[in-house]
Every structure is written in structure tokens, then in C-alpha cells.
A and B are shown apart, each in its own frame.
Chain A
Amino acid sequence: MASLSACQRVSPPPVTLSFDALGTLIDVTVWDATPPDGERLIAVERTLRDAVIAAQTAFHAWQPSAVGEASEALRRGERFHPAPRVAALLDRALDLAALSEGAFDPSIGEAVAAWGFHADPPAPRRPTDDWLAEWRADPPDHRRIVRVVSPPPLDPETRPPVSDASLSRSPASLAGPAFLGRHPRLKLDFGGIAKGEVAITLLDILRRDGWPAAIVSLGGDLVLYGRPGADVAAPVRAERGRDWRIALRAPIAPPPPPSDCETTARRDGDRPAGLDAPLADGGLIGAFALPPAPADRPHALFTSGVYERGAWVDCTWVHHLIDPALGRPVRGVQAATVWHNDAVLADAAASALLVAAGQRDPVETPHDRIARTTRVAARLGVTHWIVVLDDGSIFATRADDGWFVPRADLAERVVWLASPTAPAATPLPASSVPPTPGGTPR
């Protein structure tokens, strides 16, 4: 019995720190091999809190923020240098917008505001038909934001001497990329990408502070590293232990429409999202099995769902996820989930795939929409994703990986798509994979 007891590794229970920011709940859960020191916890909590506050100050879409200042400058059409953090994320966002064929777009702020979601609490409404027509005719999309290329450095032989005083003036070349707006209605909204950046920032704090395993949850979107369970202190590449096991909650169906909507023609002839075949409300639709991950290549799981924020307006379910090309909420799809090692990409890709899977034209078939989604995912380099359409059908990639195991009674709803080629996650030695009912072995 002594040897058995000695083999039984017991780690201290994890500690969860909670924050209220960016319009959602942020939970940071940390594990360690020994009970954490109180002062250390207090110190890291303060550091995390400061980082969350800084993120809110930088990225808030409609309260005073660095993003708001950048939007003003874009609308004025002046060349400007945003705050470095905003510049870096805008630079990345423009790349991802182009790759996604505009399905993700950081310059969608005016449309989000027009539908009533730049308010706390949100006040969903429908903009006028004139507004929609104007948006579609001349959308202030990402192509209207120009990155200004800095001139190459001067030849050292001919460069004038630099004085200490000139350095202290922070020349523009040190202030990050410059941008130029070419549309008077440009308004940035980083709602589809900022959580990924914030998650990485928080994970970096935990990694530098020496926590061997951690999960950051931003309103249910997860970024995590390390090794779960009793082997938390073991190297992530060690040949022991198990995978992270993460449950995926089902999309929540919108509430029934008002009773007088039964006989009222819906505008645009669309069907409300999520009413055709809601999955188990509040329940789980499956689980992920993700290998231990080094801190510099964490797992990121991001989901965009039309059910999170919305209301019935004129007998149409109005939610906050806007199709940039059409200037109105996405239709015909409930949720899109992405797994990747890059949290910023995963966040933006979840938004992009949701839009790509949406019903843009009444004649589009589900096959058309999934083909478009597959194309956008491939352009973004996303290989592991799940889309739930309004009819309750589930499309998922990489059945061969066993990364996602649907609930047994939903397995027949899942259409497994052909495996893309590029790997999304670092294959690590693995772990004992638990039996997977309804799924495929690894």
C-alpha cells in the first residue's frame, strides 16, 4: 500500500481569479505542484487586473479608448500612428480581414452601433432601409484603411547625426505602423479579435510568473497551456498524463418570438436563427481532447454564437454578429468554433467562419455555405473548426484527430469534412486518450 500511495500524485486544487471587464466575465485558473503562496497570488492578481484594465482602456469600442481615438483619426483621413498596442492589433486585423475575404472585418463598428450593440446593456434595433442600402453600396470596410509604409532607414554613411534630444522626441519610426483612413464612416470594433489578444497577454503574465498550467476564460472562450491533472509539474512533452478535456456547450436557442409574429411577414424573408432545430439548451454537444501544450503554443478555443446577445425586433432575431458585406446580423447559422495555437487568429477566425457560413442569398444551399466556410478557413490556415447551422446540423473537420467528440445522440448530425493539410496544433506525445463514444480513435 505504501508504494501505491507513493505513486498517487496529488496536486493542490487550482485557484480561480475572476474579473469583470470587456463586457464579460474573465476567469483565470492556475495550477501548481505545491499550494500557492498567498503573496504570490495577490501579486499576480494585481498584475492581471492591471492588464485587464489596460485592455479595456485600449480596445473598448464605444467608450473612451485608444481604439476610439484611432477611429476618429481614420474618419478624418489623416495619417496617424495609433497607440502601439492598437497599431499592432489593427495591423494583424487588416491581414486577417484580407485573408478572410472580408468575413472578418475590424472596421465594422458603425454597423454594430447601427444595430444597437454599442451600448451597455445592448439595445437591439433595426437601422433604416436607407442606411442598409448606403452601407451595401459603399461599405467602410477594411480596404479603406491604408497602412503607410515607412521609408527605409537612411544610409548610415549619409545619415545626419542623431542627438539625444532628437531621440527623446520619439520619432515616428519608433511609434509603430501608420494608418490612413479613406472613408468618412470608418469605425473600428475589435470585438472579434481583442479577446484573443487579451488572452495572450494574460497567459504571458502567468507564464512569466512561473505557473505551470493555466486556463484563461473570457466569457467562455478559452486559452490554456500546461498539463492537466496530477502531472501539472511534469514537462509538457513527458510521456505520461492525459489530455485536457474541454466540454463544448450547445448554442442556446433564442426565445420564442412575440405571439403576433406568427402572422407577420418577417423582413427580408429570413428565418430566425436557431429556431429550426435547437440543440440541448445549456447542455453540452460534445467534448475536446487537447494534448498538453507548452506556454508559448497554448491552445485557443474560440466560439462565435448568434445567441449571446440579441432580441426580437420587428419579428426578426437581431444579434450582434454582423455580416460586414451586408451590414446586418448573420443568418442561418448558430455558432462557429475554432481551435488553434494562435489565440488572435482563433478569435478572428471564429467570427469569420460564422459569417462565411451564414445565409447571404436565399438561393444558397448549405453545401454552398459550407464550401465558402471551408475556403475561408483554409485561407486563414485554420484546420480545426466546427459550424452549427440553423437546422441543427453540425459540420466539423479532422475526424481523424479525435480532437472533438460529439455527444453520442448528436453524432449522426455531424458531417465530418475532409481534413485540410496544414497542422493547427503542435503534435505532442500523447497521452492516454479516453474512449470516445461516437467519435473516432486517434
Chain B
Amino acid sequence: MNGYAPPRSPRPRSGALRNRRDAARFKAGDAIVLAALALGVATVAGLQLSRVDASTDAEAIVHCPSRCLEIRRAGAAPEYIALQTPAEAASDAQPSHFIERRGPAGVTVIEIANGRARCHTSPGAQGLCQRAGWLETPGDTAISLPNRLRLTVIDPAAPYDAVHF
């Protein structure tokens, strides 16, 4: 991705598929309405809103304030893990830590280190998830088809509405 300067919007927007920077612009009443909506709707099987179960990892967050890894699984709420920026990672390198997510075919282990993430191990003979390598630029994506899991780096400042692959 070196040297890539993506197109810039004249009016920077989240460019996001999901609830990110815009959430901060809501009035308190809007937040209450949305929270109630999320809680009510998410009780329906399969319906996904931007919320995270409190029982998941401590680092999982409800909204992505800056740069995040999005973990999306069929039948589960999307999760967001904050990632260091490249500058932060350069000045304060952190050791790798690992997150496990169970899917229909087994456990996918996600490694997070220095502002990037990758599929460390995942079920499936093809290794498609691992082959995606390190994910560090907004839009970078890895997929585990056997586990119906997708990892994507997202950033509210990224100028994309979606990623095609």
C-alpha cells in the first residue's frame, strides 16, 4: 500500500458502512433511541447492529472512534477492536496479542500487533484467511469461509463506502 493516496472527499465523511464517527454527532436523545433500538432489535436472531456483548473481550468496543479491526460473523453482532495508528505503533511497539473467535468449523485465532491484525490460524484447508496476510490499511480484508468470519480494517476517516472483492 505504499504510496497510495486514496481519493479524498471534499466533505470528509465516515465513508463507513456502519455506525462510527456519525454516532458522536447525535444528540443524547438520539443515542437513547438508538441504544433502545439496538437492544430491541438485536434480540432477533441474526439481526446485526453495532453493539458488542459485554461478555466478549475487554478490548471490544461498541463504536469505532478511529482505526479499528472489525470482526463480523454470520449470526453474531459485529465487533470492533481498536488498532494503533502506524505512528503510535512505531513509537510504542506492543507485543502481539491474540483473540479467539469460534465459528461453525472451529476456532479462528486473530493476532493483533503494532496497529495491524491478521488471521493467525483458522480452519479450512485452503488457508484463505491466513493468506490475506497482515491487515493494516482501511479496507484490508481477510475471510474465513468455513467459519463464516470476516476481518476488515476500518477507519472513520477512510474514504470508502464499501470494499469490493
Contacts and interface: CB of A to CB of B under 8 A. Distances in A.
Nearest to B159: A245
Contact of A434 (B2, B8, B37, B139): B8
Contact of B72 (A25, A121, A220): A25
Given A10-B25, A308-B128, A220 B164 contact: yes
A36 interface: yes
B11 A19 contact: no
Given A25-B143, A284-B163, A45 B47 contact: yes
Interface in B102-126: 105, 124-126
A119 B132 CA distance: 23
Contact of A29 (B17, B41, B139): B17
A245 B47 CA distance: 26
A428 interface: no
Interface residues of A, number: 73
A70 interface: no
B23 A245 contact: no
Interface stretch (A77-85, A175-183, A252-260, A419-427): A252-260
B151 to A, nearest CB: 9
Interface string A310-335: 11000000000000000000000000
Contact of B18 (A16, A36, A307, A308): A16
A114 B15 CA distance: 43
Contact of B164 (A16, A35, A36, A301): A301
Interface in A285-315: 287-289, 301, 303, 305, 307-311
Contacts of B73: 18
B84 interface: no
Interface stretch (A86-94, A149-157, A164-172, A401-409): A401-409
A228 interface: yes
B101 interface: no
A121 B159 contact: no
Contacts of B58: none
Contacts of B19: 13-15
Q: Which of A15, A222, A228, A229 has the most CB of B within 10 A?
A: A15
Nearest to B77: A18
A230 interface: yes
Contacts of B46: 17-19, 45, 49
Interface string B139-164: 11111011010100000000111111
Contacts of A228: 161
A252 B125 contact: no
Chain B interface, DSSP helix/strand/loop, else mixed: loop
B66 interface: no
Interface string A47-88: 001000000000000000000000000000000000000000
A408 B5 contact: yes
Contact of A408 (B4, B13, B40, B50): B4
B131 A255 contact: yes
A20 B74 CA distance: 6
B95 interface: no
Contact of B5 (A25, A242, A253, A437): A437
A242 B162 contact: no
A252 B73 CA distance: 21
Given A25-B74, A408-B3, A435-B7, A282 B15 contact: no
A255 B6 CA distance: 29
A141 B32 CA distance: 58
22 contacts: A11-B22, A13-B14, A18-B73, A20-B148, A23-B145, A25-B150, A35-B30, A38-B41, A42-B47, A49-B46, A121-B105, A215-B162, A246-B160, A249-B165, A282-B134, A282-B142, A284-B137, A284-B163, A309-B128, A310-B126, A405-B7, A408-B3
Closest 6 CB pairs between A and B? Answer: A20-B74, A13-B19, A282-B132, A434-B7, A220-B165, A249-B165
Interface of A: 10-20, 23-25, 27, 29, 35-36, 38, 41-42, 45, 49, 121-122, 215, 217, 219-222, 224, 228-230, 242, 244-249, 252-255, 280-284, 287-289, 301, 303, 305, 307-311, 337, 405, 407-409, 432-437
Given A254-B131, A434-B159, 18 more contacts: A12-B30, A13-B14, A13-B19, A38-B40, A121-B124, A121-B146, A219-B143, A221-B164, A242-B10, A244-B162, A245-B9, A282-B133, A284-B6, A284-B140, A284-B163, A287-B6, A289-B7, A437-B4
